[in-house]
Structure 1
Amino acid sequence: MTQQGTIAVERMDGSAAVQAQEAFRLIYAEAFAEPPYNETGDDVVAAFRRFPPQARKHAFRAALARTEEGEPVGMAYGHPLGPDTGWWDELTVPVPADMRREDGHRTFGLMELAVRGPWRGQGIARRLHETLLASMQAERVLLNVHPASRAASSAYRTWGYRKVGEARPWGTGADLHDVMLLDLR
């Protein structure tokens, strides 16, 4: 556990994350209810129906930020992408075969990274990201970000991510998202 001021960031494996699922749900629901995401209660239920199966994936890892009093303020989680991942299939323009090659170790898929409103602008997102990726064996990290989420897009670019395409995650009704890649080597 690392600590800065009154915010502690803890790295977790899948079983610990499932035990802390309500904290992840609270952060997700609050952070993604805002524009441009506008997630509803039904969206949150759907996301957390997927959470336990995601947490059981090989090498799943999560990071959770809390105040001294234990209030959850930020979270991040993901897992390595397997050879059968559909992530690359969602791109609007295909990328070269070598870029989309996955083996279960090469690419870490960053599923979610969020900080609740009152705690933004304090470096918590960066700390969550660093904690999640510490001692990472993957060559790279892949994520989707809504382009209208300017703060998130800017942070990712500052951290070294580059846009490699656009996708409509979760099906045809979804907004177009930027697909960003961070090389770790």
Structure 2
Amino acid sequence: MTSAPAVELRTFTQLDPVRGDLLDVYAEVRAPLLHLPNYAVTAFGERLDRHSAEPGFAAVLAYAGDHPVGYAYGNRIEDGDRYWQRTNPAPDEKYTRDPAFALKEIGVRPAWRGTGTAWRIHDTLLAGRDEQYVTLMVNEAAGDGKVRDLYRSWGYEGIGYSQPSAASPRLTVMIRSTR
């Protein structure tokens, strides 16, 4: 890991002030996959709008000056949420009996990768959350498992698989304690 460039982390609970910044960073982070329907910027924008309207929405963006360089966002999910319903096998009740935080997206522009920026964004997003667990989904086919391995190094473990939509690849569902 290289030395972390100076970035300012900003937390938001409303989408409007940062929607454009999120779309801009997403487009660069996911550039190699944008030709796939599930990864198109318009598809991401639709998911972002839906997720931001759900309970417990929060986003953290990293800025180098006024330039957004990374982001993460998510929201609270409860037992019976479609997130859990699509997870196979069904997750253990210890994960679903109380609300959990679903980390829906995290990304850092290529120039800031390997600097600890993603980890700082992740930890800032989880700071002060009431939920006992945080869960995320990772596309193991993209990046030869490197992202999955990164999440494992952050304490996440795989608990199943999900395919949120017909256009989505099969994703590994991972979880860890927020503490």
TM band (smaller chain): 0.7 to 0.9
Identity of aligned residues (%): 28
Residue deviations 1:114-137 (CA, integer Å, cap 9, x gap): 011111111110010011001111
Q: What is the root-mean-square deviation of aligned Cα atoms in Å? A: 2.2
Quick check: 1:164–1:180 contact (8 Å CA) kept in 2? yes
Q: Quick check: 2:61–2:70 contact (8 Å CA) kept in 1?
A: yes
2:130 alignment partner AA: Q
Distance 1:158 1:42 in 2: 25
- Give the Cα–Cα distance (whole angstroms) in 1 for the partners of residues 32 and 86 of structure 2: 24
| Distance across 1 between alignment mates of 2:164 and 2:128 | 28
1:18 CA displacement: 2.2
Q: CA deviation at 1:108?
A: 0.2
Structure 1 stretch 57-66 or stretch 42-51: which is displaced more? 42-51
Q: How does 1:120-139 map to 2 (within 5 A)?
A: 120-139=113-132
Instruction: Return the TM-score normalized by structure 2.
Output: 0.86
* SS at structure 1 position matched to 2:78: coil
Gaps of 5+ in 2: none
Q: Any runs of at least 4 consecutive aligned residues in structure 1 with deviations exceeding 6 A, and if so which?
A: none
Do structure 1's residue 140 and structure 2's residue 147 form an aligned pair?
no
- 1:53 offset after TM fit, Å? 3.4
| Structure 2 counterpart of 1:28 | 26
Q: Please tell me the residue identity of whatever aligns with 2:164.
A: P
Contact 1:32/1:38 (8 A) holds in 2? no
The aligned length equals 174
Q: Secondary structure at the match of 2:32?
A: coil
Query: What is the CA-CA distance between 1:100 and the residue it aligns to?
Result: 5.7
- Assess if the C-alpha contact under 8 Å between 1:33 and 1:40 holds in 2: no
Report the Cα distance in structure 2 between the residues aligned to 1:116 and 1:52, rounded to whole angstroms: 22
Q: Hey, what's the Cα distance between the residues in 2 that align with 1:157 and 1:41? A: 25
The letter for the 2-side match of 1:71 is: H
TM-score (norm 1): 0.83
After superposition, the Cα gap between the structure-2 partners of 1:41 and 1:155, relative to the gap in structure 1 and judged at 3 Å, is: closer
Q: Is the 8 A contact 1:80 1:108 kept in 2?
A: yes
CA contact (8 A) 1:23 1:72 kept: yes
